[in-house]
Chain A
């Protein structure tokens, strides 16, 4: 099965190589290049009209129009330097090459010390024109002072976060998270122990330059698991021919008494560009309005370095990053049996709560992620070949509260090594069709490291995966049509230990075809409609098949670790395989439609979506087991069909040249359609209003701005039934089989009520320095978040004052 696909791909690539060679010497129609861009004011970010743009060493020039737009046509070269100048502004030299279309050139006024900069336009993130994309710029990211990646991503409409306390936060797109969304970090599929809800992606927010979300089913381009969408995260681009540029940031936060520092240095020579970043964070115990959240400190450090070498039509880059975290988890969230859980829920504040400390005790997680990436790109006449290899090494150690010397040993100790090789050929336009074909390979090795003194929760496994895709698009008048198709094959080999240390093994393969179809139509000027329908899939995760035993506060059994007899009783003695119980892969089909309206003052967008997922894997309660520790509810993995549908909407209004408002909201409707039941822990409806104003120069400030935001989170009304812990204990005592007749999901507490959060910020610039002040949760509101797994034990964090100093040159 594997061979024919490989041979087919060999043929495609070989043909393309030959084609590329024959296309190379073409000269007569080579004066067809086109170059355009926008000029803006660096301080105000507004268009700068009538600047002059000159191609160096030629007599070709252009003048920007009122919108700051300029363009050149019929150019014979596709790589040159342009000189941009305007009266009262510092001149900028921009190196243009065919990799980057439509640059935004920001000119700095003579009166400020900052240099003019260019932000190169990227091709549509995600490369699927019809998939709805939303982004945060580098300036917006700087203003958020986000605690972690999940916190940052939740500023994108339609993206929310699921958390296990304050330090372990995962992004969720349209109600899907973990291994149903993909994170592409710096062009590489971020591979980590994504299966657990308490496993956050190991990406340092302080190194993120821009972040986008692709909300459609983008599996065709990115591979399995992208059922909900894709998060694209990028560090700063490595630009050629730029002066030394640097940034240093210091941030202090009152809540957790944390200090964060980061530095970034960049330099671009004629052929070589360099980038280095480093960051460190130290945080102590956070506090809720009424008590300290004991053991919620964290330490984070990161280092990354990159270099790019550019020679004619070739571009090479190498990148290395290291990230290490030590995350404390609320001590009061650790409970034993159901009786302990009932006690914890009835306690006014989490037990035990101690005085403030920077020390991190059990439970905590120590996680490391290293990445090496090598990228090579060849850019030909209207075509390009991109080859990228990446190696990632992820180590995860989770420490629980245990007896004696076992406290010094991790209860989970995993190492995951991933190799990926991605190749893509963007072919020359053929009969007005633009497109690309690609090959993606992945090899993954997951091992349990010895010394945990507990039977591994997940087995060792190796995954080999191959994917080939083909995406084409064509412009028909005001409509761009797009279609794509993909094939994936995955082979896994598994070795694990059963509860009595006996060894089990299995080998299993999954394969799938996926397709996407979409269109983008400019209905009239400023009105754009995008729609896309696409399929997506993912093979069951190893943990969903094989997990066994107590993990955090519940006992769970994977799909192949339990069987049900005719009396509906669960037995867990045998390890099953595909011959005993078929576990088909999850297959989703997602429709998404977006209407964008952009006028001079208004920018608005409405997105609707429906995602139908077959064989959706989830856990449900199956009974109460009596262990030595007392009674525990246990959960089994099962498969049913699910629907996720919803609406995201946002509107931005520029009231005057210096004031603007934004209103955004999202609503998700989700159901287990097989059982007509609700899921636990999905985000409720949210509304946010933001206001910002630029302030004129005053005193020694060159400029300043201030703003505020209010965010209302509604009560989640789509919840499963509530069965209190006392009710479960009572049923267990009376031998009432609580889940025999109705084994639908339940929650032990109702969803927390809605809440309003407010924050305000101010920042001012003095030459190279920018000073920022921010207050979060201004009213010190005590609230609980429905998508936080620790909502049973403690309130979220209270008021937080943030002071930041940023130095850049």
Chain B
């Protein structure tokens, strides 16, 4: 009388030990947060070969180091620079992040910094850092809904021969953080890359 429920339970626990093998693999996810490739395209005004600078980090969040190409521009030339951002972490699913950023221009803004003397326009060394938001940058593309710049397209006029660095920061400033005064100390950095640059 007392024994039967115990045996039932033992049968149950035997079932536990040899429990059915589950072989469910996590779903394949389209990794959208990662960016693996950034390309700057400098197109000279009035024609000529465009200069491309790339930044490639094939393993995304892995410990592997990114590969950069140096930028070489001609002296005393005006360029239109376009920024292209893509995610190729999964070669089967390439992703164009540029369009996504353009769609969300109200929440994004590019900031630039360079060694003083590389350009005659804009002058100075860029708008990165606290309080430097309004330093000169030739934002060329359409503005966002509040009339604030985005920066996917900008124009640059080089000066005489010089060498230095060129930094691009993309700030994600959602939830109303992006304003007429928000600088690089607000929001999160989606892109922060520095290239070596030569003007010759």
Contacts and interface: CB of A to CB of B under 8 A. Distances in A.
A337 B22 contact: no
B176 interface: yes
B22 A629 contact: no
Interface in A361-419: 361, 376, 378, 385, 387, 401-404, 406-407, 411, 419
A660 interface: no
A17 B2 CA distance: 7
A336 interface: yes
A809 to B, nearest CB: 39
Interface in A296-353: 331, 334-337, 339-340, 343, 347, 351-352
A403 B38 CA distance: 17
Given A21-B2, A403-B190, A570 B89 contact: no
Interface in B1-57: 2-3, 5-6, 9-10, 12-14, 16-17, 19, 21-36, 38, 55, 57
A630 B192 contact: yes
A439 B19 CA distance: 16
B134 interface: no
A480 interface: no
B25 A500 contact: no
B59 A572 contact: yes
Nearest to A447: B24
Contacts of A630: 169, 189, 192-193
Given A443-B16, A500-B89, A557-B63, A460 B192 contact: no
A572 B63 contact: yes
A347 B38 CA distance: 30
Contact of B17 (A6, A376, A385, A460): A6
B181 interface: no
B140 to A, nearest CB: 23
Q: Size band of the A side of the interface?
A: 35 or more
Interface size class of B (residues with CB under 8 A): 35 or more
Contacts of A402: 33
B26 to A, nearest CB: 4
Nearest to B59: A499
A445 B22 contact: yes
A606 to B, nearest CB: 43
Interface in B135-185: 169, 172, 174-177, 184-185
Contacts of B32: 403, 406, 453-454
Contacts of A466: 16-17
Nearest to B103: A404
Given A387-B9, A401-B174, A453 B33 contact: yes
Contacts of A455: 29, 31
B26 A460 contact: yes
A495 B35 contact: no
Interface in A1-41: 2, 6, 10, 13-14, 17-18, 20-21, 24
B177 A352 contact: yes
A548 B29 contact: no
B66 interface: yes
A421 B13 contact: yes
A471 to B, nearest CB: 20
A464 B9 contact: no
A441 B192 contact: no
B123 interface: no
Contacts of A13: 6, 10
Contacts of A335: 188
A526 interface: no
Contact of B16 (A18, A441, A549, A631): A441
Interface string A425-455: 0000000000000010101010111111111
A462 interface: yes
Given A13-B10, A423-B9, A447-B24, A336 B190 contact: yes
A625 interface: yes
A627 interface: yes
A351 B66 CA distance: 30
A631 B65 CA distance: 11
A703 B55 CA distance: 74
A59 interface: no
11 contacts: A17-B6, A401-B174, A403-B33, A441-B16, A450-B27, A464-B16, A493-B23, A495-B23, A501-B92, A628-B55, A628-B66
A-B pairs, 7 with minimum CB distance = A630-B192, A336-B188, A450-B27, A336-B189, A549-B61, A448-B26, A628-B35
Given A439-B13, A627-B61, 8 more contacts: A17-B2, A336-B187, A378-B2, A466-B16, A497-B26, A555-B61, A562-B63, A629-B192
